[in-house]
Amino acid sequence: MTAKPWCRRSLIAGWGIVLAFSAKRTEAATATIVIDDYLFMPAELRVSIGTTVVWENRDSSPHNVLSVADPRVFRSRAMATGERFEFTFAAPGTYGYFCGLHPHMQGFVVVE
Amino acid sequence: MTQPLPHDDAKHDGSKRHSLECMLWAGTGLLWTVVGGVPRSALIGSAQAQTPGGGFSFAQVSDSHLGFSTPLYSDVAATTAEAIAQLKSGPAPSLVLHTGDVTHLSRPAEFDAAQQIFGTSGLEIHYVPGEHDVIDDDGKGFYERFGRGAGPAGWYSFDAGGVHFIGLNNVMNLRAGGLGQLGAEQLRFLEQDLRDRSASLPIVLFAHIPLWTVHAPWGWGTQDAEQALGLLARFGSVTILNGHIHQIIQKVEGQIAFHTARSTAFPQPAPGSTPSPGPVRDLPAGRLHSVLGVTRISRVEGRAPLAIIDTPLGA
Ligand SMILES: [Cu+2]
Residue A33 lies in a domain: yes
Phi then psi dihedrals of residue B292, to 5 deg:
-110, 155
What pLDDT band is residue B299 in, cutting at 50, 70 and 90? low
Contact B105 A80 (CB under 8 A): yes
Residue B41 lies in a domain: no
Chain A residue with Cα closest to B215? A104
Neighbours of B124 (CB within 10 A): 12
Using one digit for the tens of pLDDT, what is the confidence trace for B210-268? Answer: 999 999 999 999 999 999 999 999 998 899 999 999 999 988 888 888 999 999 999 99
Say which of A8, A37, A77 has its CB closest to residue B136. Answer: A77
CB contact at 8 A, B171 and B100? yes
Relative to beta strand A52-57, strand A84-88 is antiparallel
Contact A39 B282 (CB under 8 A): no
Residue B245 lies in a domain: yes
Using one digit for the tens of pLDDT, what is the confidence trace for B75-108? Answer: 999 999 999 998 888 778 889 999 999 999 999 9
CB < 8 Å to A102, chain B? 218-219, 277
Domain count, chain B: 1
CB contact at 8 A, A61 and A38? yes
Q: To the nearest whole number, what is the mean pLDDT of chain B? A: 80
Residue B50 lies in a domain: no
Say which of A4, A80, A104 has its CB closest to residue B177. Answer: A104
Using one digit for the tens of pLDDT, what is the confidence trace for B43-74? Answer: 333 323 333 445 688 899 999 999 999 899 99
Instruction: Please calculate the CA angle B109-A98-B139 and round it to the nearest 5 degrees.
Output: 35
How remote is the C-alpha of B221 from its chain's centroid? 13
CB contact at 8 A, A101 and A38? no
Say which of A38, A78, A98 has its CB closest to residue B177. Answer: A98
Lowest mean pLDDT among A40-44, A78-82, B22-26, B281-285: B22-26
Query: Which of residues A38 and A14 earns the better pLDDT score?
Result: A38
Residue B189 lies in a domain: yes
Nearest to B111 by CA among B87, B143, B84, B148: B143
CB contact at 8 A, B31 and B307? yes
Lowest mean pLDDT among A98-112, B7-21, B290-304: B7-21
Neighbours of B71 (CB within 10 A): 6
Residue A14 lies in a domain: no
Residue A105 lies in a domain: yes
Residue B52 lies in a domain: no
Residue A34 lies in a domain: yes
CB < 8 Å to B218, chain A? 102, 104
Domain count, chain A: 1
pTM: 0.80
CA distance A82 to B75: 20
Centroid of ligand 1 to alpha carbon of A38 (angstroms): 6
CB-count burial class (<10 Å; 0-12, 13-18, 19+) for B262: buried
- The interface predicted TM-score (ipTM) is 0.73
CA distance B32 to A86: 50
Mutate to test the interface with B, among A35, A40, A74, A104 (most CBs of B within 10 A): A104
Say which of B105, B176, B179 has its CB closest to residue A62. Answer: B105
Residue B51 lies in a domain: no
- Enclosing domain of residue B79: 6-36+57-312
- Enclosing domain of residue A57: 28-111
A69 close to B (CB below 8 A): no
* pLDDT number for residue B312: 80
| pLDDT exceeds 80 at position B155 | yes
Using one digit for the tens of pLDDT, what is the confidence trace for A27-71? Answer: 459 999 999 999 999 999 999 999 999 999 999 899 999 999 989
Residue A85 lies in a domain: yes
Phi then psi dihedrals of residue B137, to 5 deg:
-125, 20
- Look up the CATH number of the domain holding residue A51: 2.60.40.420
Residue A40 lies in a domain: yes
B104: left (phi over 0), alpha (psi -120 to 50) or beta: alpha
Three-state secondary structure string covering chain A: CCHHHHHHHHHHHHHHHHHHHHCCCECCCEEEEEEECCEEECCEEEECCCCEEEEEECCCCCECCEECCCCCCCECCCECCCCEEEEECCCCEEEEEECCCCCCCEEEEEEC
Query: Which of residues B178 and B90 earns the better pLDDT score?
Result: B178
Phi then psi dihedrals of residue B253, to 5 deg:
-130, 105
Residue B1 lies in a domain: no
Residue B154 lies in a domain: yes
Contact A37 B70 (CB under 8 A): no
Residue A4 lies in a domain: no
What pLDDT band is residue B22 in, cutting at 50, 70 and 90? very low
- Look up the CATH number of the domain holding residue B169: 3.60.21.10
CB < 8 Å to B221, chain A? none
Residue A49 lies in a domain: yes
A61 close to B (CB below 8 A): yes
Contacts of B79 (CB under 8 A, 6+ apart): B73, B264, B265, B288, B289, B292, B313
CA distance A70 to B247: 35
Relative to beta strand B38-43, strand A39-41 is unpaired
